[in-house]
Structure 1
């Protein structure tokens, strides 16, 4: 089972190396509730010491589907399809997805995903507490003087 590699860290950040997205199938985790081994999935919250989001990268094998539909109690999820194509279903609505599709689902939406392609579908899921974002984009930013080290 592949492990995330820590690149760098200090009090203000943690950087990890996920590796080539085509190698996501080498990650696995044991589901905390049903103890099932889930291959092709890696969570980043603990590895990056995130406090406001959970991000996962996922590889769904060719012509397969997530083996369950699910909801959340508090967190919305945003799915970003990076490679492959297939279907996404929320409640009774089923629609086509492909590379570049982005789907936000509220906690109560019963969601599931299917890969119709002949290669692994690669997607990222960003999970955060619904209605928790108070400021965003430029409203929360401030420019500061820093001399770039890459120059």
Structure 2
């Protein structure tokens, strides 16, 4: 079982390294609800001490399916396909997905996916409470003057 590596941390941030996208399949965890080992998955909320999102990386082997459909009570999910191709189903709608596909699903949408390609499918899932984002992108940011520490490295 591969473990993430903490890069740096202080009170304002936590940085971890999961390894290359090809190494995601080597991660595993014990699922908190089923108690079963889940291979090829890593959750980031606890690792990064996140307070507003749960983000996971998953590697799905070739010619396999996730193995279950699910819904959420309050959280929407956004899936970002990094590698591979297959199909995503929400309720009775089933559509093709591939590298670069992004799918947002409301909490009540019954969802699952499969990998029909000959390579591992790697995807990121971002989970957050629906309608909780009050400010975003430029509305929630301010530019500041700050000296970079990598200047000499460029």
Q: What TM bracket, shorter-length normalisation?
A: over 0.9
- 2:18 paired with 1:18: yes
Give 1:31 shift. Answer: 1.3
- Measured on the aligned residues, the alpha-carbon RMSD in Å equals 0.6
Residue 2 of structure 1 corresponds to 2
C-alpha separation in 1, matches of 2:90 and 2:34: 23
C-alpha separation in 1, matches of 2:34 and 2:10: 35
C-alpha separation in 2, matches of 1:11 and 1:39: 31
**Secondary structure in 2 aligned to 1:72?**
coil
Runs of 4+ in 1 over 4 A off after TM superposition: none
Give 1:9 shift. Answer: 0.7
Give 1:29 shift. Answer: 1.0
Give 1:45 shift. Answer: 0.5
Structure 2 alignment gaps of length 5 or more: none
Give 1:74 shift. Answer: 0.8
C-alpha separation in 1, matches of 2:129 and 2:77: 9
Q: Which deviates more, 51-60 or 28-37?
A: 28-37
Give 1:49 shift. Answer: 0.4
C-alpha separation in 1, matches of 2:33 and 2:149: 45
Give 1:20 shift. Answer: 0.7
TM-score (norm 1): 0.99
- 2:127 paired with 1:127: yes
